[in-house]
Amino acid sequence: MNPLIPLFIAVPLAGAFLTIILGRFLRDAGRYTGLLVLLCLAAVSIFAAATINGEVLAYKVGGWEPVNGIPIGIYMVMDNFTALVLCIINIVGFLALIYSVTYISQYTSENYFYSLFCLMVAGMNGVVLSGDLFNIFVFLEIASIASYALVAFGVEREQLEATFKYQVLGGLASLLILFGIGLIYWKAKTLNIADIKIAMGSNPDKIHYTVIQLLLLSGFGLKAAVIPFHAWLPDAHSSAPSPISAMLSGVLIKAAGIYVLIRIFFNMFIISSEIAVLITTLGALSMVIGVFLAIGQWDIKRLLAYHSISQMGYVILSVGIGMILLARGTKPEVATLAISGGIFHLINHAAFKSLLFLNAGAIEYRTGTRNLKEMGGLSGLMPATSSTSFIASMSISGIPPFNGFFSKLIIIIAAILGKFYLLALIAVIVSIITLASFLKFQRYAFYNKAVVGREQEIREVPFPMVFSMVILGLLCVLLSLLAIPQIRDMFLTPAIKVLTDPQLYTSTILGM
């Protein structure tokens, strides 16, 4: 058993409690405790991603061994796909927390913020590492409850209204997921992901199986804000403090939604053409509707929130194309390419969308507004924010040489090779509309006529905020290297293998 695996959960949980205790004696305890916790997690995540070498590692909590081949204990499982998502969670989390050092000082009760932040990270890490559905549900609730509180952290009317909507729809999502888990346990008598695949067999009750898939797709689709389950996202992401907006859009919808959907549909269910087509359709709708809802927005953070829906559509579309080809048993190499494009875009989105929300927070921090019509001329006054915002805008729009271009290119090529010509055309058109939307953002925020009389008040944000934005800007360039086949084979290919070869995951857990 790998002793590093439980640290991803134990360390942030300990940090959350220590922050509250130490905060009673030291005013800035939460700041330093939180930074230390996230620094450790980011370092361990990078180490895990670099050393896992295509293995599937399992940690049996309490040391409980299988009885007659049945896993009776709690399993934490790490493979290359898990390691990539852990890197997203903890690296973006660390940078968001550095940004928060200055940003969150405008609020009261800083220690509560850092404690809730650690709790949210612990929940997301737990979701990603859990090898059974019940513990995925438990950690999902931990992450969700912490995020509800963080969205409402400023206790303004807009934030309280947004978090109420978020809680109601989040509760509905949890109910759907719990119903699905109950139906699985009724038939399979187990909740271990690997064991469920064996217990349900190769010829399960089709109606029962389909109902379970639809319940879980709806529940986790709500968590991921996939169209038509997106209603909570624009309010929650735009109302939350900007570091939390970056975490919600850059990390939470992936860990709590997209990751779990990919994991269960590849490693727990038998992929069917009908469900694969449904998932692909939801991805295409999310791309198109999300981008059209975004282009008319003048509030920066609402514009970015709708683009989160659209960009997650790319991920779901690409993975769905891979699922369709695998279900049909045709063109396995194209299926692999499509899935790798989706996961590549998942990683890229974490970098450029987190950066865009931090940029929006920096602009609001200095100008006091999120309305693009009330801005202008910020490029000379806020050069670091302007430069990093340009990089992120070009990345999300799919302009070379930034990372978003390469993942979108792989997705479009996979769609063409798989003969999904309409989907490839839609992906191109959505990318063009995305570019138009972000050219509007750049023009009105940075290059439009400056607001007269305010030039002396506006200057670049403090160093911790600049530092996080610059590092994410560099990542938007460096992640392009994943398009190089040799580097892709080191990081992405092993993650794809554990998804496309479910026996690899199952045999490791069950010892078969």
Identify the domain containing residue 425 by its residue range: 7-510
Predicted pLDDT at 202: 67
Q: What is the mean pLDDT of the chain?
A: 88
Predicted pLDDT at 136: 93
Banded model confidence at residue 238, pLDDT cuts 50, 70, 90: confident
Dump pLDDT digits (tens) for 372-415.
888 878 888 889 999 999 999 999 998 988 998 999 999 999 99
Tokens 């895990």 correspond to 48
Q: Is the pLDDT of residue 216 over 90?
A: yes
Banded model confidence at residue 478, pLDDT cuts 50, 70, 90: very high
Q: Which helix (H) or strand (E) holds 57?
A: strand 57-61
pTM for this structure? 0.92
How does DSSP assign 63-130, residue by residue? TPPPBTTB--SEEEEE-HHHHHHHHHHHHHHHHHHHHHHHHGGGSS-HHHHHHHHHHHHHHHHHHHHB
Other beta carbons within 10 angstroms of residue 345's beta carbon come to 25
Banded model confidence at residue 195, pLDDT cuts 50, 70, 90: confident
Residue 259 lies in a domain: yes
Residue 204 lies in a domain: yes
Mean pLDDT, residues 101-129: 89
Residue 2 lies in a domain: no
Rama region for 414: left / alpha / beta (φ>0; ψ in -120 to 50; rest): alpha
Least confident span in 87-96, 323-332, 388-397, 499-508: 499-508
Q: How many domains does the chain have?
A: 1
Residue 1 lies in a domain: no
Residue 391 lies in a domain: yes
| 372 in Cβ contact with 445 (< 8 Å) | yes
Of 429, 342, 431, 447, the C-alpha closest to 395 is 431
Dump pLDDT digits (tens) for 13-25.
999 999 888 878 8
Banded model confidence at residue 288, pLDDT cuts 50, 70, 90: very high
Predicted pLDDT at 426: 94
Half-sphere exposure at residue 205, Cβ-oriented, CA atoms within 13 angstroms: 9
Dump pLDDT digits (tens) for 59-77.
888 777 777 667 777 888 8
Dump pLDDT digits (tens) for 45-62.
999 888 888 788 888 887
Q: Is the pLDDT of residue 452 over 60?
A: no
Residue 12 lies in a domain: yes
Mean pLDDT, residues 317-341: 90
